[in-house]
A and B are shown apart, each in its own frame.
Chain A
């Protein structure tokens, strides 16, 4: 009896403790503080130069920098924010999210860390092509800024194509036909990688397949039976059966040898320097980029994007600390001293894209730079907007369903079924109600 009373008391105390907080808005938090000026910034190692450039440009603003783990898919960052929320302190003022999906939990009402920038940075937001910033627009409010655009274009090996007498494809249908021809005429060469977390972005997002169609914080539309999904499924099924796409991922060490035998592939703008030049060591003058592939049936061309970093800013600050943080936000998004001089990605804001491209031309790596530059700029304006970052991670679901199935020699159709079941299951376990209407 005594024990039961004790348990009841403990239970009631807990309920009392947890019941006192209601949902908050997206502006400055009730518990916001002002350091008087000093700001704290968290970045992954590649973004450290941005902070250094800011400190040189604004020596009057004291900055504390912390370098965070840049591993895509790592959960430790979210864990830290859960603990900050419990402690009521510890949040950084600005953060570069190592993974774009992070914006989903950072804007979620439970963690609710990123502030609404719609009014404070309206002039900055106006400089983005709408398709570049649409993933930051959550429930009508802009909760993040894009660092760099990473739209998908068509990469191809110009020398191989010319030597074999092929024309780079412009549609997905042609891409399939040419891939199958390459499989038959030049076995051992590949036209795509399927094993990394960006693969569903490259193929499914580009087609408009609803995997991440967020309706609200608790509602999502997933329908792998949609014709925009089944056409990609069939395409990939044929390519896998012909053994012309690799089950390896682009970041996998196994891809290094294969990278040199990649004839063509859809891929993000950053593939040029990061993958072809630095990772796969393809000699200069071979790799070229063309406009994104389009589906013949689609009335307008669309593409997808792979990553391209996002900046978020804290709701838990006010006064001078907030003003300085917004100054930092403006700098990292729009200042050429970072975006043009130092950043490795195509700037998210439109006006800086040409200056950045001019600098890239000097490196002289790509085979036909002007065509590539035009493709990059076009691609950054036609990224499909209706694909959102959700709290379940489609890329991770892909890598632990499709990748192992293909690695162990199963058919793509089998992999697809497992992927679909798992995707819906994970969405549900995150509390989403899944709508699968067409």
Chain B
């Protein structure tokens, strides 16, 4: 406890030092106080932000607005339908189920991801020199197999007939792919898939965060008698909290948008997995099978509302966008 307090009394509070995005405009204001500099700074900021705003409009706000408008149409898309499409979506027996599936997957995957990635990143950070960088590279390797390639690899891993970890499946009493990939196991399988696909990248990101902790802070901790464990738990971890928030935020968003993995797994197992296992698949089915575009739009809006809500919560709790000032 004493260690922690002594860190708090340092003139540099952690957030000052480790914030990932220094704001250029503010720097200008601090150094040069003339109105011209402020104007230049604002113009520079506008130039920097403009491409993002354009993309946000094209790829985010316009489609979202279109979805909202579309979701308020009636079933035949001939006029205003109020919230009828939302009612149709919510009364679909698969609606709650798909969210349940995603929630279960997230419940397994996110803690695994947070604990696994933080643990590995701290280990890499605590292993100086070549060993640490080598390990970081090795952790990154599975992530290099992105998307479909990663999925193909997993198909071999999951099939007890071909898998190098077949002993594990036999241990569970499974002898065939259909027994391994049965719907009840899917959240665990997806969690493992997503962990190995994403963990390496996040170890690299968190290592970046850990690197940016100033040496003198760590030195101060050491002088105050903090061991490796205390340094990690009481100093490093609180200082990379925004990074952890960022990790949670992006992975939550990915989890809610799950589509490819259950979709392909459903085809590979000849339909053992329901073709509408996640909300996104259900929305896809509304658009291209049920041919009810307002329903598909309503599903998208619901997903957007949920991910935005959860996202805001994460941002607030982790202080992701705090300036620390």
Contacts and interface: CB of A to CB of B under 8 A. Distances in A.
Interface stretch (A54-62, A90-98, A154-162, A246-254): A246-254
Contact of A430 (B77, B275, B287, B290): B290
Nearest to B179: A407
A263 B187 CA distance: 38
A117 interface: no
A197 interface: yes
Contacts of B72: 11
A396 B179 CA distance: 18
Interface size class of A (residues with CB under 8 A): 35 or more
Nearest to A77: B288
B292 interface: yes
B272 interface: yes
B61 interface: no
Nearest to A86: B293
Interface string A387-426: 0000100011001100110011000000000000110010
Given A195-B178, A403-B178, A395 B291 contact: no
Interface string B83-99: 00000000011100000
B273 A400 contact: yes
B70 A14 contact: yes
Contact of A79 (B93, B179, B270, B288): B288
Counting chain A CB atoms within 10 Å of each CB, the highest count among B80, B176, B271 belongs to B271
A399 B272 contact: yes
Interface in B184-198: 184
A73 interface: yes
A163 interface: no
B270 A251 contact: yes
Nearest to B282: A429
A425 B96 CA distance: 13
Contact of B94 (A78, A248, A252, A429): A429
Counting chain A CB atoms within 10 Å of each CB, the highest count among B70, B80, B272 belongs to B272
A19 B76 CA distance: 9
Contacts of A378: none
Contacts of A197: 270-271
Contacts of B79: 15, 19
A404 B183 contact: yes
A285 B119 CA distance: 63
A75 interface: yes
B182 A73 contact: no
A14 B66 CA distance: 10
A404 B275 contact: no
Contacts of A19: 78-79
A429 B290 contact: yes
B291 A111 contact: yes
A343 interface: no
A84 to B, nearest CB: 12
A110 B178 contact: no
A184 interface: no
A18 interface: yes
A396 B273 CA distance: 9
Contact of B178 (A10, A73, A105, A248): A248
A403 B94 contact: no
B278 interface: no
A395 B284 CA distance: 20
Contacts of B318: none
A82 B290 CA distance: 11
Interface string B254-288: 00000000000011001111110000000011011
Given A108-B291, A110-B291, A254-B176, A429 B271 contact: no
A23 to B, nearest CB: 10
B289 A431 contact: no
A71 B273 CA distance: 16
A11 B69 contact: yes
Counting chain B CB atoms within 10 Å of each CB, the highest count among A74, A195, A404 belongs to A404
A404 B184 contact: yes
B120 interface: no
B177 interface: yes
Contact of A431 (B93, B284, B292): B292
Given A73-B271, A400-B272, A404-B183, A105 B291 contact: yes
A18 B70 CA distance: 11
Nearest to A20: B78
A201 interface: no
Given A15-B80, A19-B79, A425-B94, A75 B275 contact: yes
Given A105-B291, A251-B270, A18 B78 contact: yes
B161 interface: yes
Nearest to A195: B178
A15 B73 contact: yes
B69 A7 contact: yes
B77 A399 contact: no
A344 to B, nearest CB: 21
B288 A400 contact: no
Interface string A61-80: 00000000001011100110
A396 B271 contact: yes
B267 A73 contact: yes
A196 interface: yes
B178 A18 contact: no
Given A11-B69, A18-B73, A73 B289 contact: no
A251 to B, nearest CB: 6
Nearest to A10: B69
Contacts of B275: 73, 75, 396, 400
A196 B178 CA distance: 12
Contacts of A249: 270
Interface in B152-198: 161, 175-179, 182-184
Given A7-B69, A252-B176, A396-B271, 6 more contacts: A105-B291, A395-B271, A399-B272, A403-B178, A403-B272, A408-B184
14 contacts: A15-B80, A18-B77, A71-B267, A75-B285, A78-B289, A110-B291, A247-B178, A248-B176, A254-B175, A254-B177, A395-B271, A396-B275, A399-B270, A400-B266
A-B pairs, 5 with minimum CB distance: A399-B271, A425-B93, A400-B274, A79-B288, A254-B176
